[in-house]
Structure formats: structure tokens, C-alpha cells
Structure 1
């Protein structure tokens, strides 16, 4: 099999972890980027069991100097980049009038600017390989509310950024798409439910049923389900898809 290299950010947990493990079926080499080395090493161990080569990079993509270093280290080790999956970036759900400038800056700094800088740094290599990029957003991009204004605003910016990159990619031969997950049962969401439920006199199991029902969906999504969509987008089967905004949310968004 010809060497193929995929960079996955936010790979230490949640959707990023699931995506990295899923991509090991299609790529010979995975570069895992996140802030927690211990968690990354655990993911790397799972991938190595599939006979794949893994490079772990402990880094904070909010630092403007980091994306270039990630690309330099990847190319020095493997000489190419075939896919980039920008998944890093958790944005706090805080009321619009309670968000501080620092919290706004932190959200934009990692999820938007981290993805922007890394995609730009990787672009020459992706242009050479005719590679693929995915930027993960969220379905709140299409219905921002006061209770999670930053999440919706930053996610909308991610979609716009992906559209701009895809326009460049038409000429350069780089495929770019964005994915909008709905409510997914990640470790972070599970921790939230474990904190929220007893405060409201509910079991975690009841809370896990309540929130999807309130959102008008049957259940929470699983990280592995989003990972399958991500893997499809960077596969040859999806090659003519570019500039697309794909929502996977269990039917939460009711508009056309």
C-alpha cells in the first residue's frame, strides 16, 4: 500500500479520537494532535494494533506558531500530507451577556484560527498530493441562540472558512468540506450530564433521555457515527464533493 498520511486534530478524545481510529483502516500513517500526550498515546496504541504508523504531537493549536510546526514535523517524518481533519476546539456554552472577551478569544483562537492556520500551513503539501480537508463545525451554526452564542457564531465562521478554502481548492485540486454534528455523546457531554442530573433530582439515565427528547431527536449520536462520515469525505468515493456542508444531527434541525 502506498504511504498515505492523515493529520487529525483534537485526536485525544471524543469525535477526534473516533475519527483517528476509523481512519487507520484507510491511511497507512496517522498524525495525532492534541494538548494531552497521555490521551494521545492511548489512541496511538489502538491505531498501532492495526499495523499503522503513528506520530503523536502534543500541542496547543491556539498558539499561532504551532500549526506550522505540526506541518514541518509531519513532512520531515513522512514527506507528504494527504488529509487534514480539523476537529480540535471546544467552545463553552455560556449566555451571550455573560461571555467575557477572553472566552470569545479562546473559542475563536483554537477552533477557528487554529484550523485556519493549520490548513494554510498544510496547503502546499495538500496541493501536491491533491488531498482533502474537513473542518468540523456544529449544527448550532445554523441556529445560534443566546444560551450558546459563541458556539453558534464560531461554528458559522468555520462553515464560511471551509467554503472559502474550497473555492481555492477548485483550482489547486484540494477538496474541502465541513461537517455539522448535532448532539453527540462524548466524554465531555457525559461529564456534563453527570454534573447536571443530580442538581435537578434526576438520574443520569433519565437526563440522557430527556435532552435528546427536548431537542426533538431519538437519541444522542455516537462519535463513531460522525467518524464514518469524516472517513467518507476524505475517501476517493467522495472526491467530487467539495464546498459541501454536511449535517449529521439525528434530525434536530427541522428546516430545509
Structure 2
């Protein structure tokens, strides 16, 4: 999704690409170069606050920072619960807080949450611990891991994913006023099952079944997400902040309506 978005944003802006895997980073830069888009490539682990600060230093040296499209994240099949939580939640804190500290008036950031944030029951999400992220990231992470450890081991990574993406959504909504005080916008989008390398890892874990049951019964395309991501940080979306946009092909809507109908008929 990040590469697909870079192809759009790179038409009008200088780009800085970031990835923790050097081979993927090099391939992305080469792909963009083939279509006439030059991009600076920075290897960066978003869970390392110092590395993220260096990334923003690189970007601001190239010019005025107009936007950040934060697509870094991992799925349940990619690691243990603590890895998923650290990458998705702590990574979001690091990138967004550095954006808040470095970006100039008029800049925007868009984060990637997930439809999973809409599917986990609210009573299972430790939202009371979320504000810790603003004052003590380590304490926040410890609290999130504690919540994960209360879940049966076989479901722990999946829970960590849904809870971490719920945090991304919460952060993007709750910090809008603070960001606006510096003339910044913050938004998140929640994709459904998208036809990417990471998305397909979850196909056997349930995502495939949800695709079949959606109002639009197919996988989403990275380009469809990219158009929305690019719009969110564009001047056309100047009034858009503090909200999450669910772009899931109707999965959540279908599931809620079917649950309502089943309850009514039961």
C-alpha cells in the first residue's frame, strides 16, 4: 500500500521511503525510478524512536515536510503478540510524535488501522491504558502486553493485532485537537483484506472467509487504498482530521447487519 501511494504522491512531491527490510526498500526505490520518480530511501525501524527521529531529520533537510503516510505494520501471522504490539502501536507513537514535533503548519499524517479494530468487542480493548502512550511509552507497552497475556496463547497475536489497530484508530481521533494547535491534520484509514504480501498471509486465518462474505466479495487492491491514503494528506482534504475511514468492501457493515438479522429472527 505504501508503494502504491508513493506512485501517486511522487508525481507532485519529493519522496522519502522508509522500510526496515533493505531489499524491499531498494526494490521500491527501483520501481519508482522506472516510472520517473526519484526517492530517497532510508532504512528505519519504526519501533526505534531514535531511528525515527533520524528519518525525520533526513526528510526535513530535503525540504518542507508536507505529509507522512504511515503504512508500516505487521499482521498476526508475522510474529508473537509483543512484536505485533510494538510494531503497530509503539511504531505509531514514534512516527506520529516525531511528525508532531517536526512538521510545519498545513502538514498531514495518515495512519493505517484495520477493520479488525471494528470487529473486536469494546469490552476486550484496554482503552483505559491508551493515554499512557502520551506520557510513558514503555509503561503503555507493558500494559498492552499484560492485556495480551490474558488471552489464550493461540489467539494472542490476533488479539494483539486487533488491539493495536484499535489504538491506532483511538490515537488518530483523540489527538486531533492537539495536532490542530500546530496547524496539523491527523487521520487514519481502516483497510479490509487487501491483496498484498502481508494481507495474503492472513488468508488461511480467516481473512479469506470475510472477503467472501463482504458486500463487495473480493480482495481490495493496494491501488484502491493508495488513492484514499493520498487524498487524506492532500490539500483537497483540508477539513478532514480526527477520524477513521473504514475502507473494507463492506465487511463490517455486512457482519453487523447479519448479526442484527440473526438476533431479530432468533
TM-score by shorter chain over 0.5: yes
Whether the aligned pair in 2 keeps the contact of 1:40 and 1:56 (CA below 8 Å) is: yes
| Cα 1:81–1:139 shift into 2, 3 Å | same
- Please state how far the C-alpha of 1:164 moved relative to its aligned partner: 2.7
**Which residue matches 1:133?**
109
Name 1:163's counterpart in structure 2. Answer: 173
Structure 1 position 86 matched with structure 2 position 49: no
CA RMSD, Structure 1 to Structure 2 (Å): 2.6
Could you say if the C-alpha distance between residues 190 and 240 of structure 1 is closer, same or farther in structure 2, counting changes exceeding 3 Å? same
| 1:1-256 alignment, distance < 5 Å | 15-27=1-13, 29-76=14-61, 78-92=62-76, 103-126=80-103, 128-144=104-120, 147=155, 148-190=158-200, 193=203, 196=204, 212-215=211-214, 217-254=216-253, 255=256
1:237 CA drift (Å): 0.8
For residues 172 and 39 of structure 2, what CA distance do their matches in structure 1 show? 27
Q: SS of the counterpart of 2:76?
A: coil
How many angstroms apart in 1 are the aligned matches of 2:210 and 2:251? 11
In structure 2, list runs of 5 or more residues that go unmatched. Answer: 122-150, 258-266
Q: CA deviation at 1:209?
A: 7.2
**TM-superposed deviation, 1:79:** 3.3
Moved over 6 A (4+): none
TM normalised by structure 2 equals 0.75
Comparing 49-58 with 179-188, greater Cα deviation is found at 49-58
Residue 129 of structure 1 and its aligned partner are, at CA, apart by 4.0
Count the aligned residue pairs.
221
Larger RCO: 1 or 2 (CA < 8 Å, sep 6+): 2
TM (normalized to structure 1)? 0.77
More helix by percentage: 2
